[in-house]
Structure 1
C-alpha cells in the first residue's frame, strides 16, 4: 500500500476514537450550505440513512448507538422512536447508552435500506445480523445470523435490489466485532465477507471472502454488479452478479477509508470517505460522487462542520446530501 508507517498510525488513531466522543452542532442553519438535524437527547451515531419511497414526504430512518431505529418526520416533529433490533433490549437499560459493551444486549443497527415494493426496512445489526422491520416498526425480526456455518461478527453495510428483493450486505470481520474495530484495523484484518440474502428462498449466499474491512455496498440499477468498499484495504471493488463476468470482481479505485456507498436516481454513486490533510497528515471527511469505473466527478469537503471526525454515509435527496456519522449527535444536510 502507498502509505508510510506514520500515516497508517495517524489513520488508526483518527478512525477509532473513544465511542462516547461526540461533536455537537446546534439544530440550526450553520451556513447557507449546511444545516444539522439534531437527534433526541443522548442519542448518538446515525450511521446510515434510509428514505421512504417517494420524493414528497422526506421521511427517513437512522440507527443509533443504543440500538434504536429512529424515524425523522420533518423539522417540526423531528425524530421519533420507530423500532429496535435486539430481542433482549431493555428501554430502561439501553436508551441513551454509548457504552459499546452494551451492544450485545441493546443492539447496534448500522446499514439500513428499504425494499420499497414490500415496504420492508432491512438493517444490519453489528451483533444480531440481518434483521427486518415492517411498517409498524417495533422489534425487528431476525432474518439471518450465519452463512456457510459461520456466524456474523460485524454485520455492517447493506443495499436492496428493488426488482429481485435480494439484500446485499457485508460482514466486516469474521474474528473482530464492532468493539474490536481498532484491532481489526491494526492487524489489517482480511476476514470480511460479501453476502446476499434471497427472500424467495430465505437463504444467504457467500459471494466473496477474505475482504479487507468491507463496509458499504451499493447495487447497480440493473442489478448486474455491486460496489463494495474496503475500509481497511482503502479501495472499492466491483463484483459482477450477472452477465459474462458473473462471479468475478475488479478493483475500481484507491481511496482512503471508503465507507458506505449510495446509488443516486441517475445511477451513479455517492461515497463517504476521507482525504489526507497536509502537513499534519490528518484525515478529514469528504463526500465523493463517482461512476461505475471509479471516476470521481465531485468531492465535497466537510471539514468545516465535522473537523477530523469521519463520516459513514452520504445520500442524495431533494438536491441535498444527507450525512451520517457514527460519532455525532446529528444528521448533517449539505445543499449543493
Structure 2
C-alpha cells in the first residue's frame, strides 16, 4: 500500500466504523481536546469519561482553569494518577492566558513547548481542533505503526521512536487531517488492540508487514522486563477528638507533588517527634491492613496506623502545609489515590466505633 493510499483508507474506515460520540468530540475546541488528550495519557477512555465531565463542569474554559486554585485542579484530578499532568495543565492555562492572549498557538511546534504538551499531544490539538497537518504518535498510533512496519524493537526506545515518527510524518495526509488523526486513534483503540487484534477488519491490512509475516500477535515488541524495587513506609492516620485526620501538603515537585498526604515515617517507632511537633499525645493506636501502590518505577508498601490523638494545644494546624481534614465533610483538596483509600478505610473504622 502506497503512503498516498494509507490516509484515505483509514479515513474511509472511520467514516463508517469510528467513534463519534465521545464527549470531547462534541463542541470541539483546543481546550477540550487538550484536556482530553492529557487525561487519556496512560489512562483508559472508560476511566476518563467521568473525570472529563466533572472537569468541564467545574472548569469549562481556559480562563476558569487559569484562575482556579491548584488545590481545586488537583481535587478534580484525584484518582487519575500522574499528578504532574494536572500541575502542568494549570501552568499551561496561566501561560496561554498571559502570553498568548487566552488563545492556543496555531502551531504544533509552539504548542509542544508548553508545559506538559509533548509532540504527540501538540499534533492532536493542532489537527483535531485546528485542522492543521500535524503527525501524532500516541500509544494507539504507535502500536498501529509498529505492526504496520513490522518494527521488531521496543517502540519506546529512542531509535524506534525516531523511526515511528518518520513513518507517522510520511503517512499523515495533506487533507482530512482531523478525521485522519481521530481515525488512527480509533484504529488502535478498537481494532489494532494490544491483544487479539482484529486484522481481517483493518482498512490497511494489505500493507501491514506484521500481518503478512504472521507476527501481529508478537508485535509491538514488549518493554524489556525490569524488577521493580520496593520502598516501605509507615503512614500514621492521626485522628483528633473531632474525628479529623492530620494531613501534610507535599512539595510541589516530586512524587505526588502539591497533593495532600499522610505523614510518612520510615518506622512507626519514630512517631514521637511528629506528635511533639503538633502538641499531641496518643491514648491508643492500631495497625491497619497494609497497602501496596505501584508506580512506574517502584512499589510503595504502606504500613498504615490508625492513631487516636488528643491535643494539648490549638487544634487548627492550617499553616506550614499542615491541616486537619474532616473525612465526613471533606475540603476540596488533591489527594493521591492510595491516601484517599486509606482515609476511606479509617472512616469505615470510625463509623464502626460509633
Q: What TM-score comes out, normalization by structure 2 length?
A: 0.23
Higher normalized helix content (fraction of residues): 2
Larger radius of gyration: 2
Higher normalized strand content (fraction of residues): 1
